[in-house]
Amino acid sequence: MDSTVVSFGEVLWDIFPHAARIGGAPLNVAYNLTKQGISCTMISRIGRDERGEQLRAQLQDWQMPVTGIQQDEDQPTGTVIAGFDAQGEPHYDIIQPAAWDYITWQPSYEAVLQSADAFIFGSLSARHAVTRKTLFTALETARVKVFDVNLRTPFYSFPLIRSLLEKANILKVSLGELKQILTWLDKSYIAEADGVHYLQDVFKIPEILLTKGVRGSVYYAKGYHQVFAAVPVTVQDTVGSGDAFLAGFLASKLQQQGPLKAMQNAALLSAFITSREGACPPYSFEEYQQFVAAHPL
């Protein structure tokens, strides 16, 4: 039986100085999962406007289901004013309100979530009460809950992050985010492993993926961890690299390939996307396979 995933939250346009591109972390993950052969449905909301129509048409062109994409009569399709700092790292001005702040619960979601092999969510989508309520309803229904922390100032608080951590079965967290969460918990940062194990103990999270950019990543399960190096590439931009990492991990995990293969695929897909421009660059699975063959681990 084919694996299915539901990705929940923001779909939007990233407005760069030189171009506008479709984005939003949940959509970036869904796009790359689809490229990996995993059926992925987005639950989100767009405006009844030109940007919304273009976004919907692009999803259809990517052969992604649009049944979970709601339309809003009053709020515009989401936009983010994006740019890069001197080190090439992206920064974002996430415009509000946006249609994805008003995702409402639909009775049809219950069966979709109960049958899905994974439910992906982040903290940004919960910035508004309407979508936040829908997210927590979905979390009561979904079976395997994958939390991509993705802190975006000022759209988070410790009580919100704590309540989402309590729901997670799989957590993807950057080293900076790990340190922030430990600070909230009044836990001194001693070492990566100590911090991650503390989160696992407090929130009962079976699997944690710790990402560290060019310093690679670490997979943690109960009583076990494995370090993975980053794949060296010529960087075009880093937008969506973490989302691709999560997609690569989940695609292999859902194909029963085990954590070692899953983390290798995560590192490779993240590097592949980093070597191209944009979070959802056009590519075929064959092109990705060629990249993998050229970068043996």
Q: What is the pLDDT along the chain (297 residues), one digit of tens a residue?
A: 588 999 999 999 999 888 899 999 999 999 999 999 999 999 999 999 999 999 999 999 999 999 999 999 999 999 999 877 777 666 789 999 999 999 999 999 999 999 999 999 999 999 999 999 999 999 999 999 999 999 999 999 999 999 999 999 999 999 999 999 999 999 999 999 999 999 999 999 999 999 999 999 999 998 899 999 999 999 988 889 999 999 999 999 999 999 999 999 999 999 999 999 989 999 999 999 999 999 998
Q: Distance between CA atoms of 297 and 271, rounded to whole angstroms?
A: 12
Half-sphere exposure at residue 62, Cβ-oriented, CA atoms within 13 angstroms: 30
CB 120 within 8 A of CB 43: no
Which residues on adjacent β-strands are paired with residue 228? 217
Positive or negative, the CA dihedral 242, 244, 246, 252 is negative
What 8-state DSSP symbol labels residue 100?
G
Phi/psi for 270 (5° steps) reads -60, -45
All residues at 6 or more sequence positions from 232 whose CB lies less than 8 Å from its CB, including other chains: 271
Joined together, the tokens standing for residue 259 give 């954590």
Q: What pLDDT, on the 0 to 100 scale, is given for residue 1?
A: 55
Joined together, the tokens standing for residue 53 give 């129509």
φ/ψ bin of 71: left (φ > 0), alpha (ψ from -120 to 50), beta (otherwise): beta
CATH class as words, domain 4-294:
alpha beta
Write down the domain spans for the chain: 4-294
Joined together, the tokens standing for residue 205 give 């999270």
Q: What pLDDT, on the 0 to 100 scale, is given for residue 135?
A: 98
Q: What pLDDT, on the 0 to 100 scale, is given for residue 83?
A: 75
CB 68 within 8 A of CB 34: no
Whether this prediction's pTM lies above 0.85 is answered by yes
Specify the pairing of strand 4-8 against strand 69-72. Answer: unpaired
Q: Distance between CA atoms of 42 and 48, rounded to whole angstroms?
A: 17
CB 36 within 8 A of CB 253: no
CB 151 within 8 A of CB 141: no
CB 46 within 8 A of CB 69: yes
Radius of gyration of the chain (CA): 18
